[in-house]
Structure 1
Amino acid sequence: MKTYLLALFSCFFLTARAQSDLAVVGARVYPSPGTPPIEHGVVLIKNGKIVAVGDQQQVKVPANLRVIDGKGLVLLAGFWNSHVHFMSPVWEHADSLPAAQLTAQLTEMLTSHGFTHAFDLATLNFRNLRALRDRVRSGEVDGPAILSAGEPFVPPNGSPFYVRPIKLPEISTPEDAVAYVKKQLDAGADAIKIWSASPIGDNNSGDAD
């Protein structure tokens, strides 16, 4: 089944970029984890968005719409990757890198594997990550929906050893914590990350999201 899934995902993503209105017909469709599959399903996409899902008796394919034959294949709801980081050098200057380059990088890292959502759990440059997220949201760059925990904070002297010589923002009072959380949320964070048991020695580990 893995081969079938990857084949259908690859076909869907590549075709969706080329044409935003299409139909996937005949596949076994799993619309959500808690519902039975739809045998011989139909999925309609218009303007790059799914507008209808059902069996071939319920969903009619409009005339002249491009059709992908899904017989013998399986179509799943998009995957979530809930622990990613966009901190490697290839993501720097996300506001000015060519859209095609960012699309290719996101495809290699996420969308080619079926991920439609990605949750970044820590960044050291939230402005840069917001630029990437905004270009995806605007449609300029093709990629998954991106959520972020923004820039994390730590207790006093709590920066992890593996980010040295960088020191993360240190919070020592409840008032400072409230102010920092508000600042992150106002900047567009979808979650808050606290390294409350930071790894500060080579053999220690632990964090809290």
Structure 2
Amino acid sequence: MGIFSFPVLAENVALVGGRLIDGTAELPLRNSVILIKDGIIEQVGSVDTLDVPPGYRVVSTEGQDVLPGLWESHAHIMLNGHANYTHWQEAYRDRQVDEIMPASLIQLLLAGVTSVRDLGAPLDDSVAIKKKLAEGEIPGPNLYTSGPFLQYHVDEWQSHYRWEVKDIKDAATKVKRLHDAGMEIVKLIDQDDLPRPVAQAIVDEAHKYGMKVVGHAHKPDEIRLGVEIGVDSFEHTGLTTAPGYPQDVLDALKERTSTGIFDGLLFWTPTMEGLFTYPDLVANPEELDDACWKRGLKDDTIADIQQSIAKPGHLSYMQLTPLRTPTIKNKIKQLKETGVMMLVGTDSGIPMKFHCQSTWQEMAVWVHDMGFDPMETIRSATYWPAVMMGVQDKYGSVTPGKVADIIAVRGDVLKYMNIIRDVDMVMKDGVVFKYNGVVDEQLLQNYGN
């Protein structure tokens, strides 16, 4: 993703006064000054060491923590929280590029998410939405896409966004098609159903093109095979109601994470907050009434989503969840001990997981319920996702030479992670979309005009 030159131009900006948590292992910097020129971070210092040159617009961040823009490492921008997948796929298939995906992207951006891994969508829709972003027709985060899932068997109603792969030749053909269409990621699901040589061919072909491979971790055999064939990241906590991962799986993960420095990193996106807090949501579903998830959606779409989630406790999709909830803490503890590099991602878009809420909720549960260090949680939502995608030279930290994707939140985020629900400032490519909690609606209207 390049820096937008249309319809808005990045100006020279100085962010002045806030405490900078820059995404690296560096300690926070009080009274920071960040100089941004043409959408690129030029210099970083403090009010005592770095003067603001003439010609820079000063944007105060006093009283705020300043962070790199967040990454949502597991989103589904073709979904908006509706509880009936088969209905959604049929009713909204032709509204994805013009309504659904743009709404998802602007909701993510205004929540402080400036980069997204979108894991599963029709290929043509993924290509079209990336084109809209690249040409400045719509605003949104940097978008990294997988296009369709790859798997062994696909039901007919899913065939537009899931592809069957039956043999090695088919694997090579389909991975090349994804690459040639501009996808950066290959997504596997039920990879343990694939013949071993076919699964290996998918990974090898993807890596040949410099693509990343993510695989589901719902079943022990998915993990076992994924480790063997060399997937780059596992998704979800999985294992339904089982109390934890089998010992041989944990041993395999530990062996994989001990093989190198950056080249040996194995990433894992647990997407666990929705599972962990579901009983609380049933008890108090008021957050489902938040107007933030309605932005960009048509009235009939909103009404359809609302009726589908009117009774959160009745959803067949979630009936096992209360039994899974007590297992989450142990699974997270086990994963921590294996050395996998965990990333903040949420499955955003699935039933009742809205793009404007999911990322901050996941981060808050990581810190306040799962015992993650706040600084490392921030890095798991900023720096490490950029490393996973191989774009850490441009994104993931507020350091000189990086693209100016920056957010600010009022208060001490290292003490109260849940304040990140109210992002006060959102800057994307050096352009301020939100300041003092107020969205620049005129700026948004300029897109596509």
Q: Normalized against structure 2, the TM-score is what?
A: 0.35
Matched with 2:126 is: 129
| 1:118 to partner: Cα distance | 0.4
User: Which of 149, 153, 165 does residue 171 from structure 1 map onto?
Assistant: 165
Distance 1:53 1:69 in 2: 15
Distance 1:91 1:25 in 2: 45
Matched with 2:370 is: none
SS of equivalent residue, structure 1 residue 153? strand
Matched with 1:68 is: 59
Cα distance change of structure 1 residues 56 and 32 upon mapping to structure 2, 3 Å threshold: same
Matched with 2:180 is: 186
Matched with 2:42 is: 51
CA contact (8 A) 2:70 2:113 kept: yes
Matched with 1:92 is: 95
Gaps of 5+ in 2: 1-7, 80-91, 194-217, 223-233, 236-449
| 1:117 to partner: Cα distance | 0.3
Cα distance change of structure 1 residues 20 and 126 upon mapping to structure 2, 3 Å threshold: farther
1:28-74 deviation line (CA, Å, top 9, x unaligned) = 01111411111111112223333322222443212242212222111
Matched with 1:11 is: none
CA contact (8 A) 1:118 1:147 kept: yes
Matched with 1:4 is: none
- In the TM superposition, 1:135-150 aligns within 5 A as 135-150=132-147
CA contact (8 A) 1:23 1:44 kept: yes
Determine if the alignment matches structure 1 residue 116 to structure 2 residue 118.
no
Cα distance change of structure 1 residues 134 and 172 upon mapping to structure 2, 3 Å threshold: same
Q: Number of paired residues?
A: 176
In terms of fraction of residues, the more strand-rich structure is: 1
Cα distance change of structure 1 residues 59 and 107 upon mapping to structure 2, 3 Å threshold: farther
1:70-109 deviation line (CA, Å, top 9, x unaligned) = 2211101111101111224499363xx49xx94x65332x
What is the alpha-carbon root mean square deviation over aligned residues? 3.0
1:4-27 deviation line (CA, Å, top 9, x unaligned) = xxxxxxxxxxxxx79633211011
Matched with 1:151 is: 148
| 1:187 to partner: Cα distance | 1.2
CA contact (8 A) 1:150 1:190 kept: no
SS of equivalent residue, structure 1 residue 169? strand
Cα distance change of structure 1 residues 92 and 47 upon mapping to structure 2, 3 Å threshold: farther
Structure showing greater relative contact order (alpha-carbon pairs closer than 8 Å, 6 or more residues apart): 2
- Identity across the alignment (%): 27
Gaps of 5+ in 1: 1-16, 200-204
SS of equivalent residue, structure 1 residue 140? coil
Cα distance change of structure 1 residues 42 and 140 upon mapping to structure 2, 3 Å threshold: farther
Larger CA deviation: 190-199 vs 138-147: 190-199
Matched with 2:31 is: 40
Larger CA deviation: 183-192 vs 164-173: 164-173
SS of equivalent residue, structure 2 residue 186? coil
1:128-151 deviation line (CA, Å, top 9, x unaligned) = 222222222233322110001121
Distance 1:46 1:139 in 2: 19
Give the partner amino acid of 2:114: T
Distance 1:59 1:139 in 2: 33
